[in-house]
Structure 1
């Protein structure tokens, strides 16, 4: 046993620590709205940091034989265009010049017209809320689809605070910090093909499944589904990316394969570039789901189960509340109705802005 144990050595292939720093282009050209592109760089496999955004680049949408449209730099490698209405019969590409004067460009790609979303449907299944997308193309020209989504939900903190510590004293709280809204975006690759079907129809494509005890459906939940038509090449790239990033970890999953995008480095053709830029119009549809529409036996996981009320004496007010980590909730009164202290709890148990925003979304019903 000792001999066998001494023969085991860790295997660390060179690729884990390879100092590669390739450009990553994430996004698509939106032909009927704002285009958002994020530029970043690859990291080696044992790196612990988030991929850094590529700053100070010049990013353009270029029409074949036509005008160019500049994207404006935002935070963390994000670049955004003005709302555009691109010509549906022309081809477009993305052109990039980085701060070190390296030039990159995608292939010119046809502008795909996305058919409308017919409906967003849902079913309350035994273990959760399943949401679906339904669409079709009567002209039989799409065949390749991709979806993204934005979620928004309403939530409350356990304690309703009527007091706040401000300017070194306890005062009445003027805004409600008990009810907030929170959101998230899709992170998985959602694609589907009807190329092998007799009709270009997508029926009940699963978008997301929300567990029956999720806090997202405690009060009211909304999802905005975004739909895009894809070329065959864009679909195949997304399919490979999905296999490489999501379908790994077991003996029966497919082996990772080389990603071949449509972006090239013009300054150095041998330099790999990660990404695939497609051009398509965007179709969106939003639905709301209220708690009363769901099974009454569904319970909600209490994400604030650790929260508790404490009491703070008047002499300890400044020492307790000055840091902002603990917030007052209400007065503690004696038999004569005079304030002798305050109930209090941690900021995240009182102020919902720790996890969300008190600003009601414009679209909220």
Structure 2
């Protein structure tokens, strides 16, 4: 028996020794000092163009990509005029509304603050067909939204979509009072009813090149779970559609595979991304991005809670909120710092109902200004 215990003891010591010898593998590539330019956006031929410039980061860097400031960004027509993009925040550059010639080719030209010059290839201005409709279906596990379109002239074949979502939400408590200038006054602004939004991040593309007709029918754009807070009251989606060249589509397809379809044994290996932007100052320097030119087509729909199955129940994002009581003599010390907000006056005992600011003021998660497009 003693020999058996001794054997287990030796095995345990050996396992501890092996574990202590394991060191994390950190290949040199994740800490290389390269800081390549990233160009994100497209040239909108029938509206405002927004381009974001940033820099690549090391794989082990947890920060978000920094915006590239103080650059000069131009849209150039081949053999024609130039259009300047104004600098905004966080590396964003935006043009005035433009109406570019559909028969001409255009490119993006960039000069960074360190006088490095970059330019995309001149590409054709693709005319995007209108969106036929945005349809939706309720399924067993949620709300599926589709986009439908076609090109009767059979010239598009390559499509890409983006979308902006907007939805209503409320806080659990409606505040009637406000502690202002060391006194309690009636609240004049509704801070319990707000709107929130988000934009698409997934790459949504489709091709009809192998079909007899240039028709996209019920392309699945986004799916909302049946308990999504977005559909608790009213939900709206603005779909943006763009025609693409075959080269732009193939770039987006590769990018989609590299960013969305990795991580399992059967996923394809990441492949080299080759865009259409070059560094004119140093042709050997890689540049990340692909600049296309297309008109933008948009369509918006609204979906009301009453149109959805009554058995669907949205998650309660304010489940932790509680209603408290604050005595009148403690009002100043409780409400002065803004962490707790008054809700209503009570008489017995003399004081106020209250809750944390996060449970009362919806502006912490959205805006109480009704969007102009809201129905």
**Category of TM-score, reference length = shorter chain:** over 0.9
Residue equivalent to 1:308:
322
Q: Distance in 1 between matches of 2:339 and 2:123?
A: 53
> 2:179 matched to which residue of 1?
165
Tell me the distance in 2 between the aligned counterparts of 1:315 and 1:274: 62
In the TM superposition, what is the alpha-carbon distance from 1:140 to its structure 2 partner? 0.6
- Which of 161, 183, 196 aligns to 2:197? It is 183
Check if 1:361 corresponds to 2:371. Answer: yes
* TM value normalised by structure 1: 0.97
Match of 1:67 among 63, 72, 81: 81
Where does residue 319 of structure 1 map in the other structure?
333
Report SS of the residue matched to 1:349: helix
Q: Deviations over 1:327-354 (max 9, x none)?
A: 00001113xxxx7111110111101101
Distance in 2 of aligned mates of 1:317 and 1:7: 60
Question: Which residue of 241, 251, 255 maps to 2:269?
Answer: 255
Q: Distance in 2 between matches of 1:107 and 1:101?
A: 20
Structure 2 residue matching 1:26: 3-state secondary structure: strand
Q: Given the alignment of the two structures, is residue 347 of structure 1 paired with residue 357 of structure 2, yes or no?
A: yes
In structure 2, what is the Cα distance between the partners aligned to 1:212 and 1:293? 13
The aligned residue for residue 108 of structure 1 is 122
Structure 2 SS opposite 1:19: coil
TM-score, scaled to structure 2: 0.95
Cα distance in 2 for residues equivalent to 1:325 and 1:21: 42
Alignment of 1:213-362 (within 5 A): 213-334=227-348, 340-362=350-372
1-side partners of 2:19 and 2:93: how far apart? 53
SS for the counterpart of 1:216 is: helix
Structure 1 distance, partners of 2:256, 2:339, is: 42
2:59 maps to which residue? 45
**3-state SS, counterpart of residue 351 of structure 2:** strand
Alpha-carbon distance, 1:7 to partner: 5.5
Aligned partners of 1:327, 1:4: CA distance in 2, in Å?
57
SS of residue matched to 1:245: helix
Deviation at 1:74, TM superposition (A): 0.3
Q: Deviations over 1:215-273 (max 9, x none)?
A: 10011000000000000000000011111111111111111111100000000000000
Deviation at 1:319, TM superposition (A): 1.2
What are structure 2's unaligned runs of at least 5 residues? 1-13
Partner of 1:93: 107
1:77 and 2:87 equivalent?
A: no
Alignment of 1:133-144 (within 5 A): 133-144=147-158
Which residue does the alignment assign to 2:216? 202
Quote the Cα distance in structure 1 between the aligned partners of 2:306 and 2:182.
44
TM superposition shift of 1:313: 0.9
Indicate whether 1:152 and 2:151 are aligned. Answer: no
Q: In structure 1, what is the equivalent of residue 9 of structure 2?
A: none
Alpha-carbon separation, structure 1, partners of 2:284 and 2:334: 61
Distance 1:45 1:208 in 2: 29
Separation of aligned partners in 1, 2:19 and 2:342:
59
RMSD over aligned Cα atoms: 1.0
Larger-gyration structure (1/2): 2
Provide Cα deviations, 1:69-126, integer angstroms capped at 9, x if missing partner: 0000000000000000000000000000000000000000000000000000000111
